[in-house]
Amino acid sequence: MTSAKRFNGNLMDQFLKNGRSIILAYDQGLEHGPSVDFDNRNVDPSFIVEIASKGGFSGLALQKGVAERYYDGKVPLIVKVNGKSNLVKGEPVSRQTCSVEYAVSLGAKAVGYTIYLGSEHEAEMFAEFGKIQEEAHERGIAAITWVYPRGAAIANDTSKEIVACAARTALELGADAAKIKYTGDTQSFSWAVRSAGKTKVFMSGGPKAPTNDAFLIQVRGAIDAGATGVAVGRNVWQHAEPMKMADLLRQVVFENLQIPAMSKPAA
């Protein structure tokens, strides 16, 4: 089989509407610990699963334990197949926690894998993702990588150069989509999008922004730079009105709404 035949550019299609996408991420309980991000409302995975469907999200990213117990089949599922806590210090490494086969059995239409680019352990994650990507494609599902520059070698994880490097890493490792941090402006982020080639780019959210606009300006900037969409968590499910934020996100990503037209105080 030729490499051109091996590449199936359609694996992300079920996460797209007119080429755009909004993915809801909910793996922070493992990554950060429940006391950091959760309150009485959003500690319950059912709350997030409902936001995903009622809020019109294009995809939902969960670790396998949450997917097993709470996923309702309404929104295309991404199962994160690696993870780590933030308790261990030093150079970050995140190892595989779920097989591709098991993710598929849970209903996954894609697997998600975090790579800490620049970590002393990046080679382990490259190798592990390499196998996962091949197996995902053999099983006909997409392989998405969260590429986060991290570790002592990384001075600035949102510089134009390092974010483009993250995007390019995803392309070269065969990811169908890359979840990367925003550089801060459209022009510099467009270099990351260019660097990703046929790998689709999703902007990562980060901690909840102080105002709606502060967050949506980033989303607008990423979309204007050519990103496919966003893969965000806290800015939605920590919002006082998650449905309102979901609605704003849909308008910006799918309807090209400009931010000044919807300036509102933070909830």
Q: Provide the binding-site residues for ligand FBP, judged by CB under 6 A.
A: 25, 27-28, 31, 146, 148, 204-206, 232-235
Q: Which is nearer to ligand FBP, 9 or 155 (CB)?
A: 155
Question: Catalytic: which of 71, 148, 181, 208?
Answer: 148
Beta bridge mates, 156: none
Question: Which of 179, 181, 200, 208 is the catalytic position?
Answer: 179
Provide the phi-psi class of 189: left if phi over 0, else alpha when psi is between -120 and 50, else beta. Answer: alpha
* Closest to ligand FBP by CB, 27 or 128: 27
State the minimum distance, in angstroms, from the CB of residue 218 to ligand FBP: 11
Quick check: 16 and 253 in contact, CB under 8 A? Answer: no
The two tokens of residue 82 are 């690696």
Q: Give me the least distance between CB of 204 and ligand FBP, in Å please.
A: 5
CA–CA distance, 147 with 94 (Å, rounded to integer): 12
Pair of tokens at residue 164: 């483009």
Residue whose CB is less far from ligand FBP, 62 or 100: 62
Shortest gap between Cβ of 163 and ligand FBP (angstroms)? 13
- When CB distances to ligand FBP are compared, the closest residue is 205
**DSSP-derived pairing of the beta strands 77-80 and 108-117:** parallel
Catalytic: 113? no
Active-site annotation holds for 179: yes
Q: Give CA–CA dist 248/251, Å, rounded.
A: 5
Catalytic residues: 148, 179
